[in-house]
Amino acid sequence: MNNEQTQPPKFSWTTLSPGYECLSPMAGVTDSAFRQICKRQGAAVVFTEMASANMMLNAPSRNAAFLHYEEWERPIVCQVMGGDPKVMAEAARLIESMGFDGVDINMGCPEKKIVGNACGSSLLRDPELAARIVEAMVQAVKIPVSVKMRSSYYDNEIVQPHFAKRLEEAGAHALAIHPRSKEQAYRGSADWTITRQIVEAVHIPVGGSGDITDRAAIERLKQETGVQGIWVARGAMGNPWIFDRSRTERPPLEELITTVLEHARLMLHYKGLHGIIEMRKHLTWYFSGFPGAVALRDEAKRVSSYEELVGLIERYGLSPTSL
């Protein structure tokens, strides 16, 4: 990562190829290691994990590791959360100075701790504050400012598309909609008809999210909503091949294991042994859909070194050289 770069390459949501597919920001998931895995499979844009504006400004020593990226990951966008326009503007300036291609505002996280701090989806209850945050950030930086949001805060309440229009008026360069309410969290189904309404209501690029589990879902979302792009989140966990447009199914077992080991080596490289501990959750996502996967997942939850992981894979007869 070139954290001292002050002239990031020009990036625009309007110049991406129609139907682009990106790796959406996910806390605890979209670190550099996983972004690289997804980038190799075809993700057009990748996002950092959600960063706290206050944390970025008050504990800058943490930024270098948490927001590390490699140049070839570009275009890369940093997602930030916060509820104070001035603080968010200052965080945007810092993000720009670190060389990111864009900054994204989290207005969708439903987690109680985040909402309780007037961040994430809590902003859906205050359109004017949300707009002031967008305005402050747009005025502070030259890189694009996007917003990822939910359809509403409460169930059976629709704040879109007027909320989306207000963000467009405030200067947002792009929006992404996860058409579930904050109260719904991840339950039930995403209502793609809301996404269609947003697409028709604004004149800036709109990305679609929610219930994107495979290539077929990606194509349906494009056709049913007219979104300019797809923001894949949970559907990429354990399945980075979702970005490979040439595939309709998960890869052969040999390729899956090769990718798992590559991912683990990247985690070890960037985070040391703690990276292998973090890798456990990825292993539970990767190891599914083949004979012995259940038992393998159970043991994978306890690996604490790269050597242990390799040994575990070999014990199950899954080493790439033996398949």
Active site residues: 109
- Look at the block and give the residue holding tokens 């959750």: 281
Side chain identity at 20, as an amino acid letter? Y
Question: Are 242 and 210 contacting, i.e. CB atoms less than 8 angstroms apart?
Answer: no
Query: Alpha-carbon distance 253 to 82, whole Å?
Result: 42
Taking a C-beta distance cutoff of 8 angstroms, is the pair 92, 121 a contact? no
Closest alpha carbon to 155 in 206, 121, 197: 121
* Alpha-carbon 278 to chain mean position: 17
Q: Under 8 Å CB-to-CB from 62, ≥6 apart: which residues?
A: 55
Beta strands per DSSP E along 157-280: 174-181, 206-208, 229-232
Separation of alpha carbons 204 and 188, rounded Å: 28
Long-range contacts of 54-61 (CB under 8 A, 24+ apart): 54/82, 54/87, 56/80, 56/91, 56/94, 56/95, 57/87, 57/90, 57/91, 57/94, 60/94
Which distant-in-sequence residues (6+ apart) come within 8 Å of 69 by Cβ? 1, 32, 35, 48, 76, 100
Taking the C-alpha atoms of residue 293 and residue 239, their distance in angstroms, rounded to an integer, is 15
Structure token pair of residue 81: 């959360």
